[in-house]
Chains A and B, each alone.
Chain A
Amino acid sequence: MLELSVKRRQGDFLLDLDLTAGPGVTALFGASGSGKTSAINLVAGLALPDSGRIKIDGRVLYESASGIDVAPEKRRIGYVFQEHRLFPHLSVRSNLTFGWNRVPKAERSVAFDAVVEVLGIAPLLDRRPAGLSGGEKQRVAIGRALLASPRILLMDEPLASLDAGRKAELLPFIADLARRFTIPILYVSHAMDEVLRLADTLVLMANGRAVASGPTEEILSRADLRHLTGHGEAGAVIRATVSHHIDEFGVTALGFSGGTLLTGRVELPPGASVRVRIHARDVALATDAPGRLSVRNVLAGRVLSVTATADHQVDVMLDCGGAVIWSRITALAQSQLCLEPGMNAFALLKAVTVTGGDIAGRP
């Protein structure tokens, strides 16, 4: 458990941050310049706060009041940087054992072979970093940080410098880490697909502050945070389970608390748990049950709230059997349908609008 409460002034930027990160993956999400990287540099001890306190598992790493400032090498923090930062003069094996060798045998919490196996880097051990691809380098960097048996793993946009293919290749590894090695991960990102895929807890950052934090689904579904969670891609996030595939039509049926959701084909076995993002712009509303319609998903629900936004648009939150679905419609439609909180309504969602990038496998 990481507890952080710090202030730091950098030029005219003020970082004023309170956050906690428990087990699993905690994502720090925000625009560039919101202070995400500064925050984890403070945790690692690579930068110093002006005041405040940093604690991990009850151990104080920094406290301005008592003058405690533990040196970076004594903090037992794993750090995966945006650019791998592998040592070019050492082989992959020596890079991996660099931190591992500094940890007393009794305190090693991860096994060398297990890390090598999970990250699939066994064939690379005798090579040098310069000969590896971007994805391979980042996997070795993750292994190197893990092998230092850290109390928490800090990851600073580890996928940002990779192309889409490499990114897709690496995401499952990272998703696996927190579970396999039971090390809390603090993951800095400004990519929503990564957050959706990885984060158990989400901390939204803006202008050096943590604006909101909580379970990822909850934070991403809050209309009042829409300006931070993304404009075009705003929408609700629900948990669902793969029910079955309809192979001849290339679609997948997902079961969730509000019924069944048909989506584009998902390459996960039936029974797999998933997180689905439903873009508010893709959801239409009807006050009466529609007749024959090409739209495959018609979800009965009750209007929770109606919020006007700029540009004559309205956000309508719908409770569909416990799952919150979010719809963006024009103010004109809202007034003509007389949509009010408490009314029954139907959310209409075309199956083709929910595709691979919106569905992420979850443990």
Chain B
Amino acid sequence: MFTLTPLEIEALHLSLLVSGWAVAASLPLGILCAWVLARLTFPGKTLLDGIIHLPLVLPPVVVGYILLVMLGRRGPVGSLLFDWFGVTLAFTWKGAAIASAVISFPLMVRAIRLSLEGVDRGLEQAARTLGCGPVRTFFTVTLPLVTPGLLTGLILGFARSLSEFGATITFVSNIPGETRTLPIALYALTQVPGGDEAAIRLCVISVMVAFAALLASEILARRVQARMKG
């Protein structure tokens, strides 16, 4: 029987916590960005599109370093956060969640945007003639119709967060119990002699978690599809 060691449980728990918060916290902003990109035309749209997609093409270490400079205790944003709210992000699991969120953000926005662009605007017009204002129309018609895209975006973001390494280790380092997620724990084990067996066990756990996430998204997406087909 496969029983987890305390160290593995700690890493798995941290990974799920960090990734869960990363996608949950960035989802509203992701929907907003996707909507802006899919529906509005304004000067500077290409620039915004580029900025949102930047983390996808930058080396994660660069993203992590920028976060450290900006959000570190002495960084321009980090110092304000500390002075005003007493919040420290660098070298904490919250910082890890932010690093994961930034890295996975473009994937999430892309999926939601594609889905939004596929929504029949005629249905939104119909909702308007039936007495729904633009905001209510968005929540009662548009959002339900992009559910498959939302699910895809969430799972993609979650999976990318689980595998986040470069930005995380640069921004929040490798602190047991605080920022040592699965990939970081795995990396640490490969750096010590005789860590092979433990490393392989972490590999298996990572594969299983990722696979479970994909499976869950597939099942959910099918259910949504089935509902729409009556």
Chain A contacts to B: CB under 8 angstroms: 44-46, 71-79, 81, 83, 85, 87-89, 98-99, 102-103, 127-132, 144-145, 148
A81-B122, A87-B123, A102-B132 known, 15 other contacts, Cβ within 8 Å? A44-B129, A45-B128, A45-B129, A73-B129, A77-B129, A79-B126, A81-B126, A87-B126, A89-B145, A89-B227, A98-B127, A102-B130, A128-B230, A130-B229, A144-B130
Q: Which residue of B lies closest to A147 (CB)?
A: B130
Q: Would you give the shortest CB distance from A266 to chain B, in whole angstroms?
A: 37
Q: Which of B144-193 contact A (CB under 8 A)?
A: 144-145, 147
Give the residues in chain B near A102, CB-CB below 8 Å: 130-132
Verify if B228 is at the interface (C-beta below 8 Å from A): yes
* In the complex, the 8 A-B pairs of residues with the closest C-beta atoms, listed nearest first: A128-B230, A99-B130, A131-B230, A102-B131, A72-B128, A79-B129, A130-B230, A85-B126
A-B contact pairs, 20 of them (CB 8 A): A45-B129, A46-B129, A72-B129, A73-B130, A73-B131, A73-B133, A73-B137, A75-B129, A79-B126, A85-B126, A88-B145, A89-B147, A98-B132, A99-B131, A102-B131, A103-B131, A128-B230, A130-B228, A130-B230, A132-B230
Q: How far is the CA of A128 from the CA of B228 in the complex (A)?
A: 7
Q: How far is the CA of A72 from the CA of B131 in the complex (A)?
A: 7
Q: Would you give the shortest CB distance from B134 to chain A, in whole angstroms?
A: 8
Verify if B46 is at the interface (C-beta below 8 Å from A): no
Q: Which residue of A lies closest to B143 (CB)?
A: A89
Q: Is the interface of A mostly helix, strand, loop or mixed?
A: loop
Q: How far is the CA of A132 from the CA of B131 in the complex (A)?
A: 25
Give the residues in chain A near B125, CB-CB below 8 Å: 46, 72, 85
> Quick check: A73 and B132 within 8 Å, CB to CB?
yes
- Residue of A81, A89, A144 ringed by the most chain B CB atoms within 10 A: A89
Q: Which residue of A lies closest to B147 (CB)?
A: A89
Give the residues in chain A near B137, CB-CB below 8 Å: 73
- Residue of A71, A75, A87, A144 ringed by the most chain B CB atoms within 10 A: A87
Give the residues in chain A near B128, CB-CB below 8 Å: 45-46, 71-73
Give the residues in chain A near B229, CB-CB below 8 Å: 128, 130-131
A-contact 0/1 string along B195-220, CB 8 Å cutoff: 00000000000000000000000000
Give the residues in chain B near A78, CB-CB below 8 Å: 129
Which size class do B's interface residues fall under?
20 to 34
Q: Would you give the shortest CB distance from A6 to chain B, in whole angstroms?
A: 18
Q: How far is the CA of A102 from the CA of B128 in the complex (A)?
A: 11
Verify if B70 is at the interface (C-beta below 8 Å from A): no
Verify if B24 is at the interface (C-beta below 8 Å from A): no
Q: Would you give the shortest CB distance from A120 to chain B, in whole angstroms?
A: 19
Q: Which of B109-144 contact A (CB under 8 A)?
A: 120, 122-123, 125-133, 137, 140-141, 144
Give the residues in chain A near B145, CB-CB below 8 Å: 88-89
Known: A85-B122, A85-B123, A89-B144. A128 touches B227 (CB 8 A): yes
Instruction: Find B141's partner among A74, A87, A128, A144 (CB 8 Å cutoff).
Output: A87
Give the residues in chain B near A144, CB-CB below 8 Å: 130
Give the residues in chain B near A88, CB-CB below 8 Å: 145, 228
Q: Would you give the shortest CB distance from A153 to chain B, in whole angstroms?
A: 11
Q: How far is the CA of A71 from the CA of B229 in the complex (A)?
A: 32
Q: How far is the CA of A258 from the CA of B120 in the complex (A)?
A: 53
- Residue of B126, B130, B141 ringed by the most chain A CB atoms within 10 A: B130
Q: Which residue of A lies closest to B128 (CB)?
A: A72
